[in-house]
Amino acid sequence: MVLITTAADSGESLHSTFASRYVQKPLPRFKMPEAEIPREAAYQIISDELMLDGNPRLNLASFVTTWMEPECDRLIMASLNKNYVDMDEYPVTTELQNRCVNMIAHLLHAPIGDEEAAVGMGTVGSSEAIMLAGLAFKTRWQKKRRAQGRSILSPNIVIGANLQVCWEKFARYFEVELKEVKLVEGCYVMDPAKAVEMVDDDTICVVSILGSTLTGEFEDVQLLNQLLSEKNAQTGWDIPIHVDAASGGFIAPFIYPELEWDFRLPLVKSINVSGHKYGLVYPGVGWALWRCKEDLPEELIFHINYLGSDQPSFTLNFSRGSSQIIAQYYQFIRLGFEGYKNILENCMANARALREGIADTGKFKILSKERGAPVVAFSLIDSSKYTVFDISEGLRRYGWIVPAYTMPADASDVALLRVVIREDFSRGLAERLVSHLSAVVAELGAAPGRTATAAHLAAGEEGGEAAAEEIATFWRRLAHRRKTSGVC
Ligand SMILES: *Cc1c(COP(=O)(O)O)cnc(C)c1O
């Protein structure tokens, strides 16, 4: 290529990438810069800075998809400029979303005939789907109350304290009280009997979580349905159930087809699932499904007519990208039931292998249950010398992102680590993670106890300073060894 330099570009294009003045200057952070820069420079600056982000594939903290097939990546790139809301202009995309809704409704046993349209819509994620489902329950309750000439001021939702933060957002944004069923040590999901004890005349729904964020465990929706039916019969109430199946909605149908947790249970009126978790699509898609038309109050729906047919719209935002919807449809037809089942069985097998490897170290107690999402949650048997937070930090130096956290109130003495197994987490990576975990534990075990020595120092005990020096040397050496051995 011949570069022709003009006065206007003052020779910029002749500089090597990293010698150009754009790359040498400090980056604009707060104020928009005055002048333009060449596109290559903008690209270079930003992609360099992004190198410091973690590697998504090693991010074991997240349920959200980090890998898709290159053919699907192509479809996504090709539809980046399509606004999903323009249903007139992109009727095919709209049609694909409707097909997805119907496929999911059938998967979740919605009581609809083969040719009948399912009730539901694509959202940005489970959070938006939950806002919509919660609003539908609230509106339904208020309508009934108004008809009875009674107060509509104090609606509540009964839910386990293992709830995901989006429920707290719903409660605050839409003024609904959350009545949390407390967890106890040893049981980290909602107890259906306790939940049913807590419902009252103002309860708009009970939420059951299929795939607890904390441990991946499935709650017993079937028992909840039974106990709540009994309560409704005794009291004359008609309190419904919503299932937050953000992760479990795309696991249970394939791995536990016999497990009744979905629309097979009569009180389950709505369900949310995250397309971007085990629906196997990149972030930006979720699904809200209702049992039937009667469960979605008409006044919440806005009707858009396109090509002679009625397109109901019930979403919080207007414009959004179409790519994720198209990608969801790709996964459905590319994988089919068989493909999803294979991928999930593989995830479960890898979770089992990881669980065994972690248990074999002899240092950890496994908190996640066999039945649930492919998640391994584990706590330290003995955390007097080092904690799960030290382990999380230690693993980070090998490149792994494994979060450490404490359980919610009433079980907050329990601190744990959690690994989420996704499609792209192979057996080889699982084995490597176990060996790095063992290495981190061995290093921490050999280290002089940080907490114990801090206590010595604080108490002014003899030998405290020498011990502190010894510790400092240990950590310095460790850091040096890591730096020189590199990260694999
Ligand atoms: C991830 C998750 C959510 C939130 O879903 P997004 O799709 O990230 O908005 C809600 N509930 C549960 C149980 C989850 O795991």
Tell me which residue of 368, 362, 360, 443 sits closest to 398, measured CA to CA.
443
Tell me phi and psi for residue 481, to 5 degrees.
-60, -45
Atom 2, ligand 1: residue with shortest CA distance: 246
Three-class SS of residue 146? Answer: helix
Tell me which residue of 256, 238, 253, 242 sits closest to 178, measured CA to CA.
242
pLDDT at 371: 87
Is 274 a pocket residue for ligand 1 (Cβ < 6 Å)?
yes
- Distance separating alpha carbons of residues 118 and 123, to the nearest angstrom: 15
- Distance separating alpha carbons of residues 327 and 97, to the nearest angstrom: 10
Counting from 1 in the atom list of ligand 1, the atom nearest the Cα of 128 is 9
Is 271 a pocket residue for ligand 1 (Cβ < 6 Å)?
no
- Distance separating alpha carbons of residues 249 and 285, to the nearest angstrom: 14
In DSSP terms, which residues pair with 311 in a beta bridge? 304
DSSP string, 416-441: EEEEE--TT--HHHHHHHHHHHHHHH
pLDDT along the chain (488 residues), means of 10: 46 68 78 90 90 88 94 96 85 91 97 86 96 98 95 96 96 98 91 98 98 95 98 97 98 98 98 98 97 93 72 84 96 98 96 95 92 94 92 93 89 91 93 95 83 52 60 55 38
- Distance separating alpha carbons of residues 124 and 275, to the nearest angstrom: 9
Tell me phi and psi for residue 335, to 5 degrees.
-90, -40
Three-class SS of residue 183? Answer: coil
Q: Are 373 and 419 in contact (CB under 8 A)?
A: no
* Structural tokens at position 360: 């074999």
Query: How many H-runs (helices) and E-runs (strands) does the chain carry?
Result: 14, 13
- Distance separating alpha carbons of residues 72 and 399, to the nearest angstrom: 27
Q: Are 314 and 301 in contact (CB under 8 A)?
A: yes
pLDDT at 1: 44
Counting from 1 in the atom list of ligand 1, the atom nearest the Cα of 130 is 10
Within the chain, all domains assigned CATH 3.40.640.10 are found at 74-331
Rounded to a whole number of angstroms, the CA Rg of the chain reads 27
pLDDT at 484: 40
Atom 1, ligand 1: residue with shortest CA distance: 246
Three-class SS of residue 148? Answer: coil
* Structural tokens at position 311: 């397109």
Is 246 a pocket residue for ligand 1 (Cβ < 6 Å)?
yes
- Distance separating alpha carbons of residues 82 and 80, to the nearest angstrom: 6
Tell me which residue of 444, 467, 446, 472 sits closest to 455, measured CA to CA.
467
* Structural tokens at position 345: 């069985």
Antiparallel, parallel or unpaired: β 203-209 and 177-181 = unpaired
Q: Are 262 and 268 in contact (CB under 8 A)?
A: yes
* Structural tokens at position 309: 């047919």
Tell me which residue of 120, 207, 118 sits closest to 163, measured CA to CA.
207
Mutate to test the pocket of ligand 1, among 128, 274, 287 (most ligand atoms within 8 A of CB): 274
pTM: 0.88
Three-class SS of residue 371? Answer: coil
pLDDT at 296: 94
How is domain 338-485 classified at the architecture level of CATH?
A: Alpha-Beta Complex (3.90)
Tell me which residue of 222, 208, 331, 338 sits closest to 277, measured CA to CA.
331
Is 156 a pocket residue for ligand 1 (Cβ < 6 Å)?
no
Atom 14, ligand 1: residue with shortest CA distance: 246
Is 164 a pocket residue for ligand 1 (Cβ < 6 Å)?
yes
DSSP strands (E only) in 79-176: 119-123, 156-160
Q: Are 58 and 77 in contact (CB under 8 A)?
A: no
* Straight-line distance from the first to the last Cα atom of the chain, in angstroms, rounded to the nearest whole number: 38
In DSSP terms, which residues pair with 217 in a beta bridge? 372
Which CATH number does 74-331 carry? 3.40.640.10
The rounded Å distance from CA 272 to ligand 1 centre is 9
- Distance separating alpha carbons of residues 270 and 110, to the nearest angstrom: 10
- Burial class of residue 29, CB neighbours in 10 A (0-12, 13-18, 19+): exposed
Within the chain, all domains assigned CATH 3.90.1150.160 are found at 338-485
pLDDT at 466: 63
Neighbouring C-beta atoms of residue 346, cutoff 10 Å: 16
Counting from 1 in the atom list of ligand 1, the atom nearest the Cα of 125 is 7
